[in-house]
Amino acid sequence: MKFFTLFLLVLCLATFSFAIQMGTLSASPVYALKGDSFALSITLSPTSDVKTAYLMLYNSCSGSTETLYIPQIHGDTYKWYYSSYDSCDFRAQVQITQKSTNATLLSNIATFTTDIPAASVDSTIVYVPFITNSTQTWAVNALSVGSKALTFTTFSSPSGLSISPNSGSIQPGKSKRFEVSKTGFLLPGNIYVLDAFMDTNDPRINHSRYLLARVIMGPDGLVMTPIQISNDRVIAGSDVIFDFSIWKYDVTLNYAYVVWNTPKGSKILNIPPDHGHFSSSMRLTSPGTYTLSQVMINYMYKGLNNSITYYPNVKVEAAKSSKSMKLSLKNGTSDVGISLKSSSTPTVYAIDGTLKEKLYIKMAKDKNTWTASYTYADMPGPVTILSTFDGTDYVLSKSFERYRISGAQSINFNGGWISIPSGTFASTTIVSELSSTLFSNNLYKGFSNFNPVSNCVSLVSKSDPWATITYHLHFDTSAVKGLFDNIKAYKLANSGAWEALPTTLNIGDDMMVTFGAKTGTYALGLAANVDKSSKPTIKFFTAIPRKLIGSGNVQFILTVSKDCYYKLLIYDMRGRVVALQSGKALRTLGNLLYVLNSTTISNGLYVAVVAVGPSANSITETVSMSFAIVR
């Protein structure tokens, strides 16, 4: 028995050792158009025992059989290529002759066909700003390139497109015109991608679904040109002008602002839209790097407000220097006075609005002060006076803006805006606006009469206005110190002295003063002999929590009627000061004055006393409140 089993095992091994292992014959692709190439492959091993390998093809159209004798051999893979110029079904089989036994072996039968329905679509991709796409229709042709009728259905993904026809068939050799149009209502401001698809009976791999049209709708109807900036290396204290344009159609620009990242934090500038062209200036007061990081544009389209934010990332470097420049507009003229302090000789130019070329300005010298006057053109746009110096590639620049006034107009500037009502001037005229900072060493006379709390703004024109112009100026709350009732508007008189305006001021909650005046130079200030009777009052004062159980913090919250100074003292029951804090409280809800850590003091009852006043050492109201620590 054992001998018999061993005999069978040896017999089986001998059989496996000499038989050719034949894989499955396959066609790739199975479906193709006539003229396309098919590959028919099979694996045979060992190849050393293959004497001959032929591929036999049966053509169902002609009823004939042809034989392909020469395969391409890669390893143990035998491959035959075949192309048909008929639309037929085919059957294929491999015949092998074995070397060792001279036996003939046959493979399985593989089938493939060129008799299929098939489509050819010239897909289209359209990029459509939403502001122009509402009535457009796009046409796409699909051709039936197979030998059988092509059936189809169409759909939109996501919905939002209408496709006609949405189903049907196309006979071989015929084409069909599809019309794609937008039916969905899309909110402006976003980018939408809508696809029109056609599902077919095309059996080829990845050919059952065709893209007819891809419609990309977005807000790019508001195209912003690259930002141009007057200088990227300036001396601190300079103005840099930046401008850009917006291409728009059928939308209303509401407002725009830019965000500058300055060495002292972010600064937001509102910039006036002027027929799609935006131009504004930024004063670089401190040394360091300034980055124009964002431009936000708010617009209205079909009654809907929306915004677009761009990130231009424009950098300007401001260097520290003792050089300074001051401009002064002269009312009733088109002249600007230039005063420049520098120990080295400056070369001064003007860039006058759309006159991009530099206009050389001759300066007169008096010790380290250089002066000149420049007559600017009567055209809207910015004027930049810039100076270069020997030995440095930094420039010092100051700028002002001109507007063509033909009706009501609002002029925005750094620190406020000016509202010019219609009919202010007898006819269309050019006005110029310059905002500047008043320093203690300024050139004006009479400066000591008041302490400036706002930027100084000049609005000049050749002709006198007929109506009163409204000035809106922001003031510095830290300079006002809560003495809101003592803010006055000052005008620079022709004599060079500052005079307080008798007009009534309107002091708003947004730290802005509004007053009416005509053209001239104005600033807000506090009189030197300011009346300190303006008393901030305490509206609300509390500790959170009033009773702290367990370890933790007690927060002290204060609400005051106006900006003021405060002093917080926390007493224990012995009258000892266990904590104190002083500082400024703003006219907002909930100034967090102090956070008391309970672990620093004993348990028990305490009293917090807060005092407020218009100055650090002037207290006008005091409120006390008890609280407890129970650790």
Partner 1 sequence: MKKMLMVSFVFLLSVPAFANVVNEINDPSAYSRAMGGALYALYAGPQSITYNIAGMATGKNEVFFSHIEHFLGVVRNEFLSGSFKLNNLYVGGAIQYTYPVDEFNYDQYKLSGGIAYRFGENSFGLDLNTWMGSDIKNGFSMDFGSIIKHENLSLAVVVKNAFASITWASTPSTAQSYTHELILGASYNAQKYILNSYLNVTSKELGVGAEIPVTSFFSLLGGYRLTFCKDLSKEVSTGTRIHYNGLDLDVAYVFKGSLQSGEVINPFYVSLTYNFSGGN
**Nearest distance, CB of residue 548 and partner 1, angstroms:** 9
Indicate the residue type of 555.
Q
Which CB, 294 or 581, lies closer to partner 1?
Answer: 581
**Nearest distance, CB of residue 529 and partner 1, angstroms:** 20
Q: Out of 571, 587, 591, 594, which residue is the one contacting partner 1 (CB under 8 A)?
A: 571
Question: Is residue 532 within the footprint of partner 1 (CB under 8 A)?
Answer: no
What does residue 294 show for φ and ψ, rounded to 5 degrees? Answer: -140, 150
* Phi-psi domain of 423 (left: phi exceeds 0; alpha: psi -120 through 50; beta: other): left
Stretch that binds partner 1, among 368-376, 470-478, 486-494, 623-631 (CB under 8 A): 623-631
Distance CA 186, CA 219 (A): 11
436 contacts 455 by C-beta, under 8 angstroms: yes
Q: Out of 72, 546, 595, 599, which residue is the one contacting partner 1 (CB under 8 A)?
A: 546
Distance CA 29, CA 268 (A): 63
Which CB, 496 or 604, lies closer to partner 1?
Answer: 604
Which of 120, 117, 97, 115 has its CA nearest to residue 107? 97
Q: Out of 10, 61, 109, 630, which residue is the one contacting partner 1 (CB under 8 A)?
A: 630
**Nearest distance, CB of residue 478 and partner 1, angstroms:** 21
Tokens of 472: 């809106």
List of residues 6+ apart from 171 with CB closer than 8 A: 144, 149, 150
Positions 577 through 596 that interact with partner 1 (CB under 8 A): 577-580
Question: Is residue 562 within the footprint of partner 1 (CB under 8 A)?
Answer: no
Which CB, 220 or 621, lies closer to partner 1?
Answer: 621
Stretch that binds partner 1, among 251-259, 335-343, 421-429, 541-549 (CB under 8 A): 541-549
Which CB, 270 or 598, lies closer to partner 1?
Answer: 598
565 contacts 614 by C-beta, under 8 angstroms: yes
**Nearest distance, CB of residue 190 and partner 1, angstroms:** 52
How many residues line the site for partner 1 (CB under 8 A)?
A: 40
**Nearest distance, CB of residue 570 and partner 1, angstroms:** 8
34 contacts 15 by C-beta, under 8 angstroms: no
Which CB, 420 or 579, lies closer to partner 1?
Answer: 579
Which CB, 474 or 562, lies closer to partner 1?
Answer: 562
**Nearest distance, CB of residue 557 and partner 1, angstroms:** 15
SS3 sequence, 27-66?
Answer: EECCECCCCCEEEEEEEEECHHHEEEEEEEEEECCCCCEE
**Nearest distance, CB of residue 627 and partner 1, angstroms:** 7
**Nearest distance, CB of residue 601 and partner 1, angstroms:** 8
Which of 213, 199, 195 has its CA nearest to residue 141? 213
140 contacts 196 by C-beta, under 8 angstroms: yes
Question: Is residue 628 within the footprint of partner 1 (CB under 8 A)?
Answer: yes
Task: Give the CA count within 13 Å in the CB-facing half-sphere of 65.
Answer: 9
Distance CA 458, CA 462 (A): 13
Positions 603 through 622 that interact with partner 1 (CB under 8 A): 603-607, 609, 611, 613, 617-622
Strands 233-235 and 314-319: parallel
606 contacts 578 by C-beta, under 8 angstroms: yes
281 contacts 272 by C-beta, under 8 angstroms: no
Stretch that binds partner 1, among 29-37, 338-346, 479-487, 544-552 (CB under 8 A): 544-552
Question: Is residue 537 within the footprint of partner 1 (CB under 8 A)?
Answer: no
Which CB, 407 or 604, lies closer to partner 1?
Answer: 604
Tokens of 410: 């609002």
Which CB, 164 or 624, lies closer to partner 1?
Answer: 624
Which CB, 209 or 631, lies closer to partner 1?
Answer: 631
The DSSP bridge partners found for residue 629 are: 548, 604
Which of 361, 312, 318, 370 has its CA nearest to residue 341? 370
**Nearest distance, CB of residue 485 and partner 1, angstroms:** 18
Question: Is residue 539 within the footprint of partner 1 (CB under 8 A)?
Answer: no
Indicate the residue type of 375.
T
Which of 281, 278, 457 has its CA nearest to residue 386? 281
Cα distances (Å, whole numbers) of residue 98 to 68, 101, 110, 224: 18, 6, 21, 76
Q: Out of 12, 125, 149, 573, which residue is the one contacting partner 1 (CB under 8 A)?
A: 573
Which CB, 465 or 614, lies closer to partner 1?
Answer: 614
Question: Is residue 103 within the footprint of partner 1 (CB under 8 A)?
Answer: no
Question: Is residue 544 within the footprint of partner 1 (CB under 8 A)?
Answer: no
Q: Out of 151, 572, 584, 590, which residue is the one contacting partner 1 (CB under 8 A)?
A: 572
Question: Is residue 98 within the footprint of partner 1 (CB under 8 A)?
Answer: no
Contact residues toward partner 1 (CB under 8 A) are 546-547, 549-550, 567, 569, 571-580, 600-607, 609, 611, 613, 617-622, 624-628, 630-631
